Structure 1
Amino acid sequence: MKLTAAATGFSGPFALGTLSAPGRPPFPGLVVPDGRVLDLAAALGLPDVRALLERWDKVLPRLAELAAGTGRDWLPLDGLRVHAPVEPRQIFQSGANYRTHVIDLAVAHEPEGGRPAEQVRAETAAMMDRRAAEDQPYLFIGLPSAITGPYDDVVLPYWCRKPDWELELAAVIGRPAFRVRPDEALEHVAAYTIANDLTARELVFRRDMPEIGADWLRSKNAPGFTPLGPWLVPAGFAGDPGDLQVTLRLNGQVMQDESTQDMIFDLARLISYASQTTTLLPGDLVLTGSPAGNGMRWGRLLRDGDVMEGTITGLGAQRTRCVAEARDDA
């Protein structure tokens, strides 16, 4: 998909992306709101966005200087291809982290003839109150191979019967984080971006091994199941991550439209919790969970030809088309 200057849509004087032109490999780009792009591989000698993030404290002031400059080295955004903005080593994904969303899913997953909807809602709300009080977020690991660009087609695998959308705020780590406290966790965030964490709903729970629980490998990690981007917006420009609007449209109709205020565990607590077990590295992603309005809530899942448009306040917009995969034996 080709973009014009009007399509940048991010807050602040600049953002980062990974872009390419016909006949040349992808390069890290400094993007300014009027639609100009500076090749940072040429300007700074760094090969990709992750290399920038590994030097974030030193690079950020230089990026501000470059964004204010003029010259013949700038490229027009129009005509460039926009890729996923960063290639992470680790993806930390938050499950059941929006109050209304969890209640809706609990009702949707209740077997026919089971508990009344109001009972399910009340019991689920009480469960989330206990979780919040005990400070125990739920995190699992995603695969980098699931990431695709913000305007690429999303292939719905032939075996996936219930593909669903989950638009999410994603934090991008810029400084290694290990056993950090919540009050210092956001100091390790370099930028924010948009992620659509698709799910094969029928595979979330192992029916053959219910005692083990969720199967995130099969349900979350098909190739292209995580459209990412378009931009990395530096944390200083993005505003309060606890007060951003997350909106997804399906074929032009609003399906998700919720504030990050509905999160049970805020971003600082998610980062701190993950860092108690492992080190978060520059370029890693922390996905904060998805708000209410998924396909299970509406009884309408993804189909061939559907177009998803996702926006988060100040972070731009992504647009992806669903394409059904043909079976080899069809």
Structure 2
Amino acid sequence: MKRDVDSPLFSGSFALGTVSAPGRTPFPALVLSDARVLDLRTALGAPELTVRTLLERWDEVLPRLRGLAADTAGDWLPLDGLRIHAPVEPRQIFQSGANYRQHVIDLAVAHRSPDDPRTVEEARAEIAAVMDRRAAEDLPYVFIGLPSAITGPYDDVVLPAWAEKPDWELELAAVIAKPAHRVSVEEALTYVAGYTMANDLTDRATVFRQDMPAIGTDWLRSKNAPGFTPLGPWIVPTESIADSGDLRVTLKLNGETMQDESTKDMIFGVARMVSYVSQSAQLLPGDLVLTGSPAGNGMHWGRLLRDGDVMEGTITGLGAQRTRCVAEKPS
């Protein structure tokens, strides 16, 4: 892990993470912005505690976390030397597609058929009209991901041999605090414990079923390879993020900025997304609601991921992740 020791790790006074020391199993940690961590299993007297089980008691535990963060006499450990894992193991992952206006327009242009008679300008104008209609009809597009795709924010990402066009998608993710079913937009954010970031990798070559085009998208294959969702590093409480609709999402590939967009470009914000998901499914503590990827993906640049690439992602107030791509070794 590389960081600027003179800058805070995240917004606010504390965040949650899952870390481990050499020779120790991972433990849920209270993390301070000055890079100190506290083992919450010891601090809360709960030997079997995980971040997910902590979230199941979020309203009860949050005041205690504030108190622990203010107690400088605790048994704090330096973050340096610890391994940072994905901050939570969710039971469910809800992923949003086509939620950034500019991103959708860019992808639509990139995926045009070679015999499409429209000019680039005409194609962009038509898809922009579709985005306006979707916003007016109030219908987000959500599908389901697998927890087994999650990996840590500094772990290597293995590119499967079958993935011909692996691409990056850095996204803001909401972390659910309590069971939510059929909640209104107005109350939806009260069910969110905090925010983290997810790089929702996608193999563009397998998004659409070529054998049966009428079926449409194949999210299982294109998005759910092991390690295709680097997550974290932290869960930053909602109270430390002033406005989830005004955060900067930035991804660099080998030091070159590829994505750099505000969440202002989202068609549907966090509250709308959480409410929409809850109308069909029941959200559970620790679940993730990914809010979609902004513009600047590899399809737009004509440059997909390959062996040795390094991705560095940041979202305002949520810290930074750094992952290296490694080609799958022949079996």
Per the TM superposition, whether the score is higher than 0.5 is: yes
Aligned equivalent of 1:137, options 136, 140, 160:
140
Aligned to 1:172: 175
Task: Tell whether the 8 Å contact from 1:92 to 1:139 is kept in structure 2 after alignment.
Answer: yes
Query: How far 1:122 moved relative to its partner?
Result: 1.1
User: What letter corresponds to residue 237 of structure 2 in structure 1?
Assistant: P
Gaps of 5+ in 1: none
1:7 Cα offset (Å): 7.0
Partner AA of 1:182 in structure 2: V
CA distance in 2, matches of 1:124, 1:168: 22
* Pairing 1:116–2:124 present: no
How many pairs align? Answer: 328
Is residue 240 of structure 1 aligned with residue 248 of structure 2? no
1:282-318 CA-partner distances (Å, limit 9, x unpaired): 0000000000000000000001110000000000000
Tell me how far apart the structure 2 counterparts of residues 35 and 264 of structure 1 sit (CA, whole Å): 35
Equivalent residue for 2:327?
324
Deviations 1:170-197 (A, max 9, x none): 0000021110110110110001001000
Q: Shift in Å at residue 9 of structure 1?
A: 2.0
1:86 aligns with 2:88: yes
- Name the structure 2 match of 1:256: 259
Per the alignment, in what secondary structure is the counterpart of residue 244 of structure 2?
coil
User: Does the 8 Å contact 2:68/2:74 carry over to 1?
Assistant: no
| Alpha-carbon distance in 2 for matches of 1:282, 1:50 | 7
Q: Kindly indicate whether residue 304 of structure 2 is the aligned counterpart of residue 301 of structure 1.
A: yes
Question: Residue 213 and residue 251 in structure 1: after superposition, are their counterparts in 2 closer, same or farther (change >3 A)?
Answer: same
Q: Which residue of the partner structure matches residue 101 of structure 2?
A: 99
8 Å CA contact 1:5, 1:78 repeated in 2: no
Contact 1:7 1:316 in 2 (8 A): no
Cα deviation digits, residues 43-70 of structure 1 (max 9, x gap): 1134110011000001000001001112
SS at match of 2:293: coil
Secondary structure of the 2:126 match is helix
Larger mean Cα displacement after TM superposition, 68-77 or 213-222: 68-77
SS in 2 for 1:322: strand
Q: Give distance in 2, aligned partners of 1:287 and 1:270.
A: 9
Greater Cα offset, 134-143 or 1-10: 1-10
**Counterpart code for 1:71:** A
Tell me if the contact between 1:5 and 1:77 (Cα under 8 Å) persists in the aligned partners: no
Which whole-Å CA distance do the structure 1 matches of 2:168 and 2:312 have between them? 11
TM-score w.r.t. the length of structure 2 is: 0.97
Give the CA deviation at 1:238. Answer: 1.5
Q: Partner of 1:27 in structure 2?
A: 27
**Partners in 1 of 2:130 and 2:199 — Cα distance?**
26
The answer to whether the 8 Å contact 2:9/2:34 transfers is no
Q: 1:174 to 1:72 in 2, by over 3 A?
A: closer
